[in-house]
A and B are shown apart, each in its own frame.
Chain A
Amino acid sequence: MSRIAALLGKELADLRSNPAVFIPAIITGVISIVMPFAIAIAVPYFSGERLADSSDFKIALEIYRDQPATRSLDPEGAIQAMIFQQFLIMLVLTPVAGAMSVAAYAVVGEKQARTLEPLLATPITTFELLAAKVLGALLPGIALATACFALYVGGVMLFAHPGVYRTLFFPRALLTIFLLGPLASLAALQMAVCVSSRVNDARSAQQIGALIILPISVLLVAEFTNNLQLTSRLVLLISSGLAALNVALMAVGIRLFDRESILTRWK
């Protein structure tokens, strides 16, 4: 554990000196926050048309009014709650976007900077090295997502109907942000680190790691089109699958990390 902490400390110090690497994540976070406010608050405000009066939201309103979480809200508040909850999953993408470039460079970057060989000459194990690399990318991403969530809740408290913010503290929302999000990020990062240890080019790792965005996007679209309702149970189920995937990815990562090939065949 102490070696993981040592290398993790190095990763975080490295990131502190190069904050520009988080610009994509900050952009993703800002978009994730601004979009639902534009739809739920700004458009009705400037158009003078309430969301509850729009036929587009009728079915959604019926579904949401059935839920205990939104039953106490007026129709406008219920639709706002629906929109803010549905866009919550966009925040899950924030740590993925933030950490992907970091993770993609995790191994190939060390190799290119010729810092990998001295590192491998220490007693560090492959598991410790990969764990530190993945955590070094994941933790700042989670911190960023948490900050975005705090802003999101603050914005909802300020601009949405009274009581809407409470729906963001129901289990479904919290599980999405603090369980599904980190597990999805972890899977993406592990994929990126696995690929990073097999390629000479960080872009390849970045592209493959970014594939995790696809299933998240499917969830988002399915929710928007009312084909799927992301309940707490479903979030837990998906999270369990991701947890298993993460264990498998770590095992695969350790097998793929061939120290000899990295040292002797990469130029």
Chain B
Amino acid sequence: MTSADALAGAVVRAWTFVYTVGAGASIREARRDEIASDLFEHARGLADEGIESRAVAGQMLARCFLGIGADVSWRIQVAFGQRRAVEEGVQMSERVKRNWWIPSAIALIGGGIVFGFLSYRNRIDEGWDPSLLDSAGTVLTAGLVFVVLPIWALVVRRSHPGWTLVMLAPAIVISLSPLLWIDEAVRDFEPILVLLAAAIVTLVGALTNLAQASVSDGAQPSAAA
């Protein structure tokens, strides 16, 4: 680069520096590097074509000035994109804060089905000979306690947090019952600890959900006000 196109290049770089200030680091560096590359190729390419340095400088400045409107509108778009990303991030963290316990409730449902099936089979192995009515009753009760009510509870967790706790209670209480004979239960079947953990986390989650809902209801301005 000669002095004229070096000066023009410095002006363009300065403008690029100005309009990219505050943009995300990767976006900012990408645009600055891309303009630096363009300026270099411009100076070299036109010098190879035998175009005078002052003419190259003039072209560089013209390309810069004629693109200022597009630069500014691009920068505005970037700013909006960043704000949207931040807002989406906040929404996501809000969602995580509200729903962190859902996986444990799902584990409780899955664990309930597995342990229910295993204990049913155990009892059969131990000589229990249920009638059709007994079998149907057992399956329906287990299905109600470990599948229907918990799923329903999860669906209405925001609108009816109190009912969510009530509907989860049977599954939680049954899953926590091995705590009464924990040594024996763990000795017989170690994975029972997973069910216990899921029940405890789900209980805490359902209570937190109830507290969060009460707080956000309290924060709502009343319709009468």
The answer to whether A and B assemble together is no
